[in-house]
Amino acid sequence: MKAPASPGEASGTKRFQAKRDSILAAAADAINEQSAKGMTFADVARRVGLNTTSVTYYFKRKEDLAAAAFEQTLARLDAMLDSALEEPTPERRVARYLHDHITRLARIERGEEKAFAILSDLRAMEEPLKSHLLAGWRNIFRKTRSIWGSGSNRAQTDLFGARAHVLLENTFWLAAWLDRYDVDEYPRVEARLREVFSHGVAGPGKVWAPQLLPLIHQEPEPGREAFLLVATRLINELGYRGASVQRIASELNVTKGSFYHHLDAKDELVVACYRRSFDIIAETQRLAEGLPGTQWDRLEGTIATLLDYQFSERGPLLRTTALSGLPADARTTMIDRSNRIARRFAGMLSDGIAEGSIRAIDPLVASQALMALQNAAFDMRRWASAMPRRKAVALYASTLMFGLFDDRVLNA
């Protein structure tokens, strides 16, 4: 039997753990600002008032520190899901999970808690850390999917998977827009987002019958479209720092110098990929505005076209996870563009509410949920490839069009 620790040993262990926790909190801040690849020991040490050598006492390598920060995020998500799964129904579980996220963000805003690391760079980690972390992420996904129980057939399991992904992505995306509200408004925002999760945005009697829009996007410079498409795919898969210029060039079978023919620096590449992606979304919105019918017809046409694009070989759009690798001014510019697109969705929703084709929801909150829905669809390409694309689009879109608890899409 192991002897109990002496008071001195216990005190030393507490001090060690407290210092380790402060280093992990600083690392999470650095990862969220600069990505895991951009984080440095020197920066983390400066944030906690240590020298670099002191940090290496706790974590021998930068990769070990990043992995520990990611593991801490996964552990916190796991604990939040465990709490949610104590509730008796899927509706109550989703409400609990959302509430715990909003409460956490309120504590962070008040300075009572530190943010945890965004899981944007898992695929860019070295082995064997990468496999270990991705296994942890798959566990989070499966546990989230279990909020709706065990699917009785493949179609139901696929639908539960889509719901899990949209729920996770929306709670991650909260940090990008919730700070536009005062903390005392967070409960109201939570209630409005819960309404979208519960009932969707479709008005009474609406069915899913979208008209795909004739979206054709080309960059003005020859060769640039193919270049940005490959870059977007690699950045989505490997993260901002993980997608090297050499890798992009080799995918296109061109020289590394060709990169600099298109762009002067890697930051410019990511900004160009974002601009291309935002241009495609805005083009789709403009095309939808020319459709006859109701705002519901225009909204479902927009969402269906964007999801079809994301699931096809023409896609993807750049994931917002790459934002953490950009310099602060470029990141702010890209988030501003994202918010302008969200406001366009909000306008569509507002007009639809007025005419009765859209439910009476908060259009600003719902528009951000729609941004998360279409942005994160890239991660579901493998899921979508296992079924006809039209079905994949319908299943995935149903999560916010009709809500996270409406099964009508299974009977369509």
Whether the pLDDT of residue 11 is over 60: the answer is no
Q: How far apart are CA 400 and CA 359, in angstroms?
A: 12
pLDDT of residue 37: 77
pLDDT of residue 241: 65
For residues 23 and 48, the answer to whether their CB atoms sit within 8 Å is: yes
pLDDT of residue 5: 44
Q: How far apart are CA 199 and CA 286, in angstroms?
A: 27
Task: Name the least confident of 22-31, 125-134, 319-328.
Answer: 319-328
Q: Where are the alpha helices (DSSP H) in 264-327?
A: 266-289, 295-311
Helix (H) or strand (E) segment spanning residue 51: none
Whether the pLDDT of residue 239 is over 80: the answer is no
How many residues comprise the chain?
412
Q: What is the pLDDT of residues 203-216, one digit of tens each?
A: 999 999 999 998 87
**What tokens were used for 145?**
């999917």
Beta bridge partners of 358: 202
Q: How far apart are CA 64 and CA 58, in angstroms?
A: 10
Neighbours of 97 (CB within 10 A): 23
Whether the pLDDT of residue 222 is over 70: the answer is no
Looking at residue 306, its amino acid is L
Catalogue all structural domains in the chain, each as residue range(s) with its CATH number: 15-149 (1.10.357.10), 224-411 (1.10.357.10)
Q: How far apart are CA 405 and CA 199, in angstroms?
A: 8
pLDDT of residue 261: 53
For residues 201 and 400, the answer to whether their CB atoms sit within 8 Å is: yes
Q: How far apart are CA 27 and CA 22, in angstroms?
A: 9
Whether the pLDDT of residue 369 is over 70: the answer is yes
Q: Which residues contact 359 (CB under 8 A, 6 or more apart)?
A: 199, 200, 201, 202, 203, 204, 353
Q: What is the mean pLDDT of residues 280-299?
A: 94
Q: Which residues contact 307 (CB under 8 A, 6 or more apart)?
A: 374, 377, 392, 393, 396, 397
For residues 386 and 395, the answer to whether their CB atoms sit within 8 Å is: no
Looking at residue 296, its amino acid is W
For residues 109 and 177, the answer to whether their CB atoms sit within 8 Å is: no
**What tokens were used for 267?**
């930051």
- Half-sphere exposure of residue 356: CA atoms within 13 angstroms, side-chain side: 2
* Average pLDDT, rounded, for the chain: 88
Q: How far apart are CA 16 and CA 359, in angstroms?
A: 53
Q: What is the mean pLDDT of residues 128-150?
A: 95
Beta bridge partners of 202: 358
Whether the pLDDT of residue 311 is over 50: the answer is yes
